[in-house]
């Protein structure tokens, strides 16, 4: 429960969502990411899962990009919470770009 609160705090630092949606996203996003990861690992509906991961990566990249443009120092909360910094925000942006590229590769090469 404490992790959900910490993740919700991380989401709120982006200043993109109305307050009533922050907890919904904080509770719903991790299980969705786990489900998509399992789908990719097992190969079940890999093309659909990779497109969903691409969509999440695009949204995350936009969130990070707008934070960088606005001069916000955010902690994405991806690997636990920590002290936010501009360098960590750029690193998270880079990871989002790599995930996007990887998801397109999986989509292109998935069978079925």
| Strand, coil or helix: 76 | coil
The answer on pLDDT for 1 being more than 70 is: no
For the stretch 55-112, pLDDT in tens is 999 999 999 999 999 998 887 767 666 678 888 889 889 999 999 999 999 999 987 5
- Count other Cβ atoms within 10 Å, centred on residue 77: 21
User: What is the per-residue pLDDT for 96?
Assistant: 93
User: What is the per-residue pLDDT for 8?
Assistant: 87
* Dist. CA 100–CA 102, nearest whole Å: 5
- Count other Cβ atoms within 10 Å, centred on residue 9: 14
User: What is the per-residue pLDDT for 74?
Assistant: 85
* Dist. CA 74–CA 89, nearest whole Å: 6
């Amino acid at each position: 429960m404490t992790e959900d609160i910490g993740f919700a705090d991380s989401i709120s630092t982006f200043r993109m969502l109305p307050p009533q949606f922050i907890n919904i996203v904080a509770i719903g996003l991790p299980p969705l990411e786990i489900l998509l990861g399992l789908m990719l690992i097992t190969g079940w509906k890999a093309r659909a899962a990779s497109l969903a991961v691409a969509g999440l990566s695009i949204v995350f990249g936009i969130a990070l990009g707008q934070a960088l443009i606005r001069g916000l120092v955010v902690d994405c909360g991806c690997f636990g919470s920590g002290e936010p910094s501009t360098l960590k925000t750029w690193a998270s942006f880079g990871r989002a770009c790599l995930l996007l590229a990887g998801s397109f590769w999986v989509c292109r090469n998935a069978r079925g």
